Amino acid sequence: MWWLLALPALADPPAPIVGGVPAAPGDWPDVVALYTIGDSVGCTGTLVAPDLVLTAAHCVAGLSRVVVGTTDLASGGRTIGVASVTSHPNPYTELDVALVQLSETVTDIEPRLLMRDCLVDALSDGIEVEIAGFGATDAFGSEFPDALMRARIQVRDADCSNLSAGCYPEVSPGAELIAGGDGVDSCTGDSGGPLYLLGDDEAWLAGITSRAAQPAQHVCGDGGIYVRSDAIADWIVSLGLDLPHPDCEGVNVRPHLSADDLVVRRNTVDAVALTVSDGNAEDQHELEVVDPGRVQAWLEGEVLLVRTSSTFSGETAVRVRVTDDGDPPMSSELDVVVRAAPSARLPVGCVTGGGPVGWLAFAALALLTRRRCS
Longest dimension (CA), the chain: 112
* Nearest of 269, 268, 303, 4 to residue 135 by alpha carbon: 4
DSSP state of 358: H
Look up 96 and say whether it is catalytic.
yes
Look up 58 and say whether it is catalytic.
yes
DSSP per-residue string spanning 184-244: B---TT-TT-EEEEE-SS-EEEEEEEEEE-SS-SSSSSS-EEEEEGGGTHHHHHHTT---P
Q: How far apart are the first and last CA of the chain?
A: 92
Please, which residues have CB within 8 angstroms of residue 142's CB and are 6 or more apart in sequence?
136, 188
Task: Assess contact for 301 and 224: CB atoms under 8 A.
Answer: no
Active-site residue, from 30, 58, 157, 278: 58
Please, which residues have CB within 8 angstroms of residue 309's CB and are 6 or more apart in sequence?
266, 267, 295
Q: What is the SS3 assignment for 96?
A: coil
Question: What gap in Å lies between CA 112 and CA 277, rounded to an integer?
Answer: 28
Active-site residue, from 87, 88, 96, 278: 96
Active-site residue, from 172, 191, 229, 332: 191
Q: Of how many residues is the chain composed?
A: 374
| Angle 83-85-88 from CA coordinates, rounded to 5° | 160
Look up 191 and say whether it is catalytic.
yes
Question: What gap in Å lies between CA 124 and CA 231, rounded to an integer?
Answer: 15
Residues designated catalytic? 58, 96, 191
